[in-house]
Amino acid sequence: MPLLRAAALVPLLRAGGSGGLRGRAPPGGLRGPSLCSAPPQPAIAAKQPFPVELKAGKKYAWCACGHSRSQPFCDGAHKKAAPGVSPLRFTPEEDKAAWLCGCKRTRSPPYCDGTHATEAVQSAQLPTQP
């Protein structure tokens, strides 16, 4: 299929009016959720990882929003504080000691990957807890 130049598209757009939509867009344009918006950024709960002892077969819910008072695990705070963020549920296959991410910026959740050592995390303000 040949590529159309921008100048060739102008008559097509004018002929199509609203691009195939019937009626007029409300003043200020179309409204609704943006499909291009970034997901909510979690709060930094701690500037270091949490040492934990995980048990094989036990189900865990790692706090991904950063608002839980039971860090590093979820206490449901995301429902009000960060509705777009859900906890990461996982079940270890073996008993083991682990370092779970506290900054919520790891690339290998729920485990710490050292991201907390970056300037962005270390200089960030921690959320205040009531």
In a domain, 76, yes or no: yes
Q: What pTM was estimated for this model as a whole?
A: 0.70
In a domain, 72, yes or no: yes
Question: How many whole angstroms separate alpha carbon 61 and alpha carbon 56?
Answer: 14
CB 78 within 8 A of CB 65: yes
What tens digit of pLDDT does each residue of 19-74 get?
A: 444 445 445 544 545 455 666 689 999 999 999 999 999 999 999 999 999 999 99
In a domain, 101, yes or no: yes
For tokens 């979820």, name the residue.
74
In a domain, 6, yes or no: no
Number of structural domains, the chain? Answer: 1
Supply the pLDDT for residue 18.
43
In a domain, 46, yes or no: no
Range of the domain at 67: 59-122
Question: How many whole angstroms separate alpha carbon 48 and alpha carbon 93?
Answer: 25
In a domain, 98, yes or no: yes
Question: How big is the CA angle at 9 (ends 4 and 12), to the nearest 5 degrees?
Answer: 125
In a domain, 50, yes or no: no
Task: Report the chain's mean pLDDT, rounded to a whole number.
Answer: 81
In a domain, 69, yes or no: yes
Residue 110 clears pLDDT 60, i.e. is over it: yes
Structure tokens given for 29: 């344009």
Q: What are phi and psi of 50, to 5 degrees?
A: -105, 125
- Nearest CA to 112 out of 98, 124, 125, 122 is that of 98
CB 114 within 8 A of CB 99: no
Q: C-alpha distances in angstroms, 88 versus 26, 67, 74? A: 40, 14, 9
Supply the pLDDT for residue 9.
45
